[in-house]
Amino acid sequence: MHINPTTEQQQQFMEMPDLGPVFMINMLKFKTDGLPKYQAYMKAVAPLIAEVGAELVWSGQPLGVLIGPTDETLWNAVLIVKYPNKMALAQLGGHPDYPGHLRTDALADSRLIATTELSLL
């Protein structure tokens, strides 16, 4: 179960080069009663996301596996949040009003993957 970053993961993130915007891919598995709790978290965190200059770019519900192991339980939701830089994400997590307890109460497991833009064409 991975809900919150370890101290080591936080340190590694802060040591990453600042290459501009960070697109955080969130893969989420909810507890049995987690969806409404996560929706409450999103409602509470939305003004803070805007305050640090970030935005929810996309959210969706996985439908199935096209390539890869099919014996795994699918994630319940996937979100992409765009932050102007890595410090904006750090500001969000350190904000005195950050409702982390709502997120923790909602999730059974999660993965957050920090990405930057890459042109493939």
Distance CA 37, CA 19 (A): 33
pLDDT for the residue 5? 86
pLDDT for the residue 74? 84
Residue 74's contacts (CB-CB under 8 Å, 6 or more residues apart) are 62, 64, 65
pTM: 0.89
Block means of pLDDT (10 residues each) for the chain, 121 residues, are 87 88 97 97 98 98 86 87 96 95 97 94 91
pLDDT for the residue 32? 96
